Structure 1
């Protein structure tokens, strides 16, 4: 009769954590940072269809790094959670904190009970009426939740990104300044002299607190080029009329007026 190999719980958890961290570190980075009128999401992502940043609900955004199929499942589950809660109670009852708690339970259960942990790190952010009421929650592969003050960096070389944000980010900075800061920090680590990433290499979105209902908006084209250009006087984006979500929007996060 053969017996299975014994592995101590401490070693098992360590091996799972190392496995997840290595998978996340291979992914391209994402920066989420507050600015004077909302919150900016900047991801190193040249793909125009496989998004790392999306809308979850009226004033809540989602960003992720790691395995696409895993964080996409989490994103869709988060949209369904938010939609059901908003329909059952009230739209104001859908909060980033409640969504972060739901994600934490899911990630913690997978990490402890499944044979392979999720190789993901996600951020759930919500804008409020003022910058002081904004919320950013960072969730790691094991379900740990951190309330981040003003900015967060995930994936890839996280430490230099976090150090750069700590030294150069300031509360109340303009959108253009926040985007230029993120684009400069997200340059490939192996090419420190290559300069900031271009608009074609970035996926950019904002949660604009000035919009009446749905704060999420993607940025691209000439507007993003202008915001990233150090020689352009543009420092913000114009507000636009809101519109109600459709059933397709709730699953795709596509309403990016």
Structure 2
């Protein structure tokens, strides 16, 4: 009779965490920065159709790095939860904290389950308030941990280097163009082989969106298109695309039959939906 294979719980959790971290690190970084009128999201994403930053509800946005199909399932579940809560109670009852807690429970359940692999994703849930003191940014990791970020947040890729750059150059209450310049510069700041390099990312490779509290519409989410990005960033010198080895990142590249990011209704039920 053969002996059953045994792995200690500590080793199992460590292996699952290492697996998720490596998958997330293969993607490109994403940053969220608070500015005077709201919250800014910037990431390097050449695709104009497959978004990493999207709207969840009136004043709430969702941003993610990692496997597209996994974080898209989470986004769709969040949209459904927000719509149901807003319809059943009141639109003011839909909050970023409530969605972050629901996502934390879902990610924690998936990570601790031995029947499936952990999600290779990290996500941000941000809510814009009536003033900067009421803005909220929640960062959620693959194992369901929640961090309440202030000022800025970075995740995916070389997040540590990007966060260090933001910490050195971020200014509280800055204008949109100043915050955008710092965020884009941080994404182009990288450390390879012990050497620090700065790359000017082309406007066409950027995905930029804001939660703007000054918008007159109830929905505060808006995307910033390349034409406006050119005007906001100005002349930055010669641009440089991402290195060739990052042109196809498994963590960022969906299959051809992946669901449309702007159509929650056209996808099936997520593997684990956030609880009500």
Q: Shared topology, TM-score over 0.5?
A: yes
Does 1:205 pair with 2:209? Answer: yes
Does 1:166 pair with 2:167? Answer: yes
Aligned equivalents of 1:81, 1:160: Cα separation in 2: 35
Matches within 5 A, 1:37-52: 37-52=37-52
1:192 deviates by 5.2
RMSD: 1.8
Question: Which one of the candidate residues 247, 264, 268 is aligned to 1:251?
Answer: 264
Aligned equivalents of 1:3, 1:67: Cα separation in 2: 36
Residue in 2 aligned with 1:116?
Answer: 117
After superposition, the C-alpha distances for 1:208-232 in whole angstroms (9 at most, x for unaligned) are 001231000001132111111158x
Comparing 209-218 and 97-106, the one that deviates more: 209-218
After superposition, the C-alpha distances for 1:131-157 in whole angstroms (9 at most, x for unaligned) are 000000000000000000121000000
Aligned equivalents of 1:192, 1:126: Cα separation in 2: 33
Alignment check: 8 A CA contact 2:161 2:189 kept: no
Comparing 206-215 and 63-72, the one that deviates more: 206-215
1:44 deviates by 0.8
Alignment check: 8 A CA contact 1:79 1:250 kept: no
**Where do 5+ consecutive residues of structure 2 fail to align?**
237-260, 266-276
Matches within 5 A, 1:65-76: 65-76=65-76
Residues paired across the two proteins, number: 236
Question: Which one of the candidate residues 214, 227, 232 is aligned to 1:227?
Answer: 232
TM-score by length of 2: 0.82
- What secondary structure, in the 3-state scheme, does the structure 2 residue paired with 1:99 have? helix
- What secondary structure, in the 3-state scheme, does the structure 1 residue paired with 2:227 have? helix
Aligned equivalents of 1:249, 1:7: Cα separation in 2: 42
Residue in 1 aligned with 2:179?
Answer: 178
Aligned equivalents of 1:130, 1:198: Cα separation in 2: 32
Alignment check: 8 A CA contact 2:165 2:189 kept: no
Higher relative contact order (CA 8 A, sep 6+): 2
1:53 deviates by 0.3
Matches within 5 A, 1:68-217: 68-113=68-113, 114-187=115-188, 189=190, 190=192, 193=197, 195-212=199-216, 213-217=218-222
**Where do 5+ consecutive residues of structure 1 fail to align?**
232-247, 253-257
TM-score by length of 1: 0.88
